[in-house]
């Protein structure tokens, strides 16, 4: 097993990824994990087992932005041009393009952000589960990411369901969560 070429390639990729993350100077532990995962994916290339990486757009989901907008419009009843004021589909990833997320507290804003992102993946792309890394990236982009409380604030709400643990953690909206996400989206566009 020591002479296995795949094992050697994996070990080499892990070493290179670790060195790159250390050189980057990232101090946030969650961002380090994300950077390490992406670096490993880069060094392993297409031979990386697909079950170990979080896809931007899941298998079976459409990556055509027209289908995304139509599906999200059909689900929410909101005009496509207004949806485009909230979301952007770029490089096969859904992004929030709003300047601020509604909510009275940081925890409320984190829940609303997660609900808006999950609504887009579930209703726009027909993707039931979204990897936690997507929510962390969106929260970090919106300056709402808190490594010690983000996941806790989300799971304390009945809006969300979880599957998996740690790096394999995935989220989806519950029935009440879909309703709350649609309400939040209505507030954002008004």
Q: Kindly tell me if the per-residue pLDDT of 154 is higher than 60.
A: yes
Q: Which CATH class is domain 65-189?
A: mainly alpha
The region of weakest confidence among 44-58, 65-79, 104-118 is: 44-58
The per-residue pLDDT for 78 is 94
| Joined tokens for residue 51 | 């079950």
Q: Kindly tell me if the per-residue pLDDT of 91 is higher than 80.
A: no
pLDDT cut 70: percent of the chain above it: 78
Q: Kindly tell me if the per-residue pLDDT of 157 is higher than 90.
A: no
**Where residue 6 falls among pLDDT bands split at 50, 70, 90?**
low
Predicted confidence (pLDDT) per residue in 28-64, tens digit: 676 667 767 777 677 676 333 333 333 344 444 444 5
The per-residue pLDDT for 90 is 78
Domain boundary assignment for the chain = 5-52, 65-189
The per-residue pLDDT for 63 is 47
The per-residue pLDDT for 45 is 64
């Amino acid at each position: 097993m020591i002479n296995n070429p795949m094992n050697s390639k994996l070990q080499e990729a892990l070493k290179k990824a670790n060195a790159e993350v250390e050189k980057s100077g990232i101090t946030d532990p969650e961002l380090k994990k994300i950077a390490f995962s992406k670096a490993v994916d880069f060094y392993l290339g297409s031979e990386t087992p697909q079950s170990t990486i979080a896809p931007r757009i899941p298998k079976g989901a459409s990556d055509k932005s027209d289908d995304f907008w139509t599906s999200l419009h059909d689900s929410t009843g909101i005009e496509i041009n207004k949806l485009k004021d909230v979301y952007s589909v770029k490089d096969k990833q859904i992004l929030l393009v709003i300047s601020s997320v509604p909510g009275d507290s940081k925890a409320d804003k984190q829940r609303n952000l997660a609900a808006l992102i999950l609504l887009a993946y579930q209703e726009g792309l027909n993707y039931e589960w979204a990897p936690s890394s997507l929510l962390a990236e969106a929260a970090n982009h919106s300056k709402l990411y808190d490594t010690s409380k983000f996941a806790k604030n989300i799971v304390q709400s009945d809006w969300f369901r979880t599957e998996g643990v740690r790096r394999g953690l995935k989220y989806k909206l519950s029935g009440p969560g879909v309703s709350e996400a649609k309400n939040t989206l209505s507030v954002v566009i008004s």
